[in-house]
Amino acid sequence: MKKTISFRSAFCFSSFLAVLTLLQLPAGADSMAGASAECPHAVLVLNDSFRESYVLAKENIRKNLGPIVIATGGDLVLLYKGKRDPQPCVPENYSILKTVDHIPLGIFVILNEHCDKPLDDATKVRLASFKGFADKAVESVAKAELSAKTQERQTKIITRSQMFINEVLAAGSVSHGSLRHFTTEASRDTLLNADEAIDDQFTAMDCIIENWRQKLTAEEWKHTNFIIMSGHMPRLKNSNLQYFEKITGEKEEGLRIIYAEGLSKEDEAVDLLVTHILDRQIAIDFYHDEWRMHRDLLSDAASKYLAKHKPLRD
């Protein structure tokens, strides 16, 4: 964060306008049309000026960014000095274990909304087709370079899944209780697969990170930022987040480590990082709390209001 402090002169005024705008307007840019009829023209012009200044401040910060490590899909990517160095970090065995875990999961999502009643033809066809894919997976798993114990576990997961599908198709229905029994039995082995998969992945990541650290100076590594591009559901205790916290000493996401939820393009993720850097300085200079802009600026006001007013009820 050392470099962000040097940008104070570039965005202090825009920081003031940011707070002023948030207090005066009911929402963000999407509310401008509705606000036009209520706000004086001068205020709207001021808001436009603020947005331009904010974008300019972000551009200035971006020009001086240090190294950035991005975890995206099955890769780690190092961005620095205009260069992009992608490195695959998901070993083949990881993918095999993950795919086998998806077999009982696939059965669950096919049947979960069709329990305790006769299966319709479309569900039967889908279930039979899925079993066909599971049958073919047996041969692929057998050829994989897995330990005997791991191989045995994969066979167990697949065989149990095949038998359950056969039982359901023969009966033409499935009870919620029997589906729950199946998933409960599968849970232990799928979690053992997860243990082994993350061991393989983190081992690969260690090699990649160590190689990059050897190429960076101690100062560059100290100011390296990390971005995780992933979905909403795995955000809590995300595996890559835990890994980056371990190697950096960071206690949580939001400063050197950014979780870019739902973003698919690296440029968008870097833009989010720059927003974090700028908003952190706003939070420090205005509120003396580097985390203040990580929550809604109106959050305290909302809490005060709701504490004084009875909520509307149906």
Q: Is the whole model's pTM more than 0.75, yes or no?
A: yes
Model confidence over 91-141: pLDDT tens digits? 999 999 999 999 999 999 999 999 999 999 999 999 999 999 999 888 889
The residue that leads in pLDDT, 1 or 200, is 200
Q: Give buried/exposed letters for 231-255 (b at 16+ CB in 10 A, else e).
A: eeeeeeebbbbebbbebbeeeebeb
Overall average pLDDT of the 284-301 stretch: 94
Choose among 54, 58, 59, 78: nearest CA to 68.
Answer: 78
Contact 216, 204 (CB under 8 A): no
Q: Is the pLDDT of residue 266 over 50?
A: yes
CA 129 to chain CA mean position, Å: 31
**Residue pair 308/300 in contact by the 8 Å Cβ criterion:** no
Each residue of 27-49: pLDDT tens digit?
Answer: 434 444 444 455 567 777 888 89
Q: Mind listing the pLDDT tens digit for each residue in 200-235?
A: 999 999 999 999 999 999 999 999 999 999 999 989
Interval 176-190 mean pLDDT: 97
Task: Give me the pLDDT at residue 48, please.
Answer: 87
In this predicted structure, what is the pLDDT of residue 17? 43
Could you tell me which residue, 39 or 260, shows the higher pLDDT?
260
Backbone angles phi, psi at 79, to 5 degrees: -110, 125
